[in-house]
Every structure is written in structure tokens, then in C-alpha cells.
Amino acid sequence: MFRKLQAISEVAESVSFDKAHTDWIQSHLNRRSGERKGRLERGHQHGEQLFLKNVWWPLLGHFEHLHPEYEVLDWRGRSYFADFVWLPGHIKIAWEIKGYGPHVRDMDRKRYSEELNRETFFQAMGFRVVSFAYDDIAHQPELCITLMRLLLSRYQPVETPAKLTSLACKEIILLSFQLARAIRPKDVEEHLAVNHRTAVRYLHSLCVQGWLRPITSERGHKIKYELVKTNLDDVGWW
């Protein structure tokens, strides 16, 4: 019975995605002409669609502010079409779906250099460029979702009233992963610009939540804290 209900749910979700995707693409086609329209008709193929179905849609459930086959001029004035560009307000993120064949195996030195230069130029123009491997999208989309959730959490404010302690603790978790070593109260003090007592209070809160484990000195003083959990998806970024 459970499997039957799960199958029905998956079919319903697929139908919901297919309709939303079709309507979204059509809305962009209706607003385009010439090469921009032709590029969308030719360029939005299996890899791009799989990214939306396996990663974007399960995470966000809508295509708001997302633009497929988005035209950007490079430093030579030549048109380049990014697979997707996300433009919510002043944020500009370019998403690229890269297959091993065209982007690694079949790429010569000139094309390889041009691709790296183009991505650097995009960064200079204010875009954040994020690339996903086709193999990951197809075979381990959960990893892509986790990484994308982590990235988008930097740009998405929480929708409910946020407690300062909760936000600070999430920042400390990110800092712990970044440091790749046991975190000290001093690290928290410098990163969050708080006093020692507040830093220790945040670290203790994370110990209670099971994220950190205190490391004590020979005299029994808690001098630093190591990560216990290693799955960032447990944080609850939304």
C-alpha cells in the first residue's frame, strides 16, 4: 500500500514539474526573437532539463527569477549563452551543466582556456558561476541538492522571524567546516565580532544540539570544539 501511494505521489510530482516546465519555457519563447529564441529552442536539451527535474524543482518547486539560455557578452563582445542565470533582485548566479565529453574529453587547449577566461570574466561582471557535472545530476542528485541548498542559503533570508542565536550557530557550523579543524572560542569571537562569553554560549548550544563535542585540556578546561555531525543537510537552511 505504501509503495502504491509513493508511486502515485511521484507521478503527480512529475506531472506538476512537466506542466510547470512547459509553461515556463513557453513564456520565455514568447518573449524572445531571433537568435535568442533559436538558442533556447536548440540549447535547452536533456542535461539542462534533467538538472531542473532532479535538482532545481525538488529544492525550490518553482522557476521564479530563473532564465534559461541567458545571453551574456564576453570580453570580446561575443555572445555567450549560459545554461541558466538566476536573477532575484541584485543577485546574479550563472548555472552551468557540464558533461564530461564536451567539457573535458573532447576539449582542446584553446577551448579549455576560453572557457576558464569566460568564467573569470563573468565573475568580474558580478556573476557567481556554479557548475554541476552531468553525471552527478543524473546519478547522485541528492548531493547536488545539498550543495545548492548550502549555496542558496547565503542569499535567502528566512521567512519566519529568525532568532539571532540560531543564525549565529549556523554560521559557526559553516566556519567549522571551512576551518577543517577543531574550532576555538577565539575563532568565533573574531568571525562574529562577539565577546568571549557569547562565543562560549553559542558553542555550548551547538554541543547540546549534538553538532559539536568539547575537547578539554589536562586541567579539565574546554579549550576547543570538534564537529560531530558531518552532514550539512541536517542544518535546515530553509
Give the Cα separation of 207 and 214 in Å (integer).
Answer: 7
- Is residue 234 within 8 A of residue 145, CB to CB? The reply is no
Mean model confidence pLDDT for the chain: 84
Q: How far is CA 220 from CA 70, 110, 126, 150, in A?
A: 58, 60, 49, 35
- Is residue 201 within 8 A of residue 172, CB to CB? The reply is no
- H helical segments located in 125-195: 134-139, 141-152, 164-179, 185-192
Written as nine digits, the cell of 107 is 576539449
* Interval 170-181: pLDDT, tens: 889 888 888 888
Cβ within 8 Å of residue 123, ≥6 positions away: 129
> Is residue 235 scored above 70 in pLDDT?
no
Reported pTM: 0.63
pLDDT band at 161 (very low <50, low <70, confident <90, very high): low
Torsion angles phi and psi, residue 237, rounded to 5: -75, -20
> Is residue 145 scored above 90 in pLDDT?
yes
Residue whose C-alpha cell is 582556456: 113
Give the Cα separation of 218 and 209 in Å (integer).
Answer: 25
Other residues' Cβ atoms within 10 Å of the Cβ of residue 167: 13
Residue type, 185: P
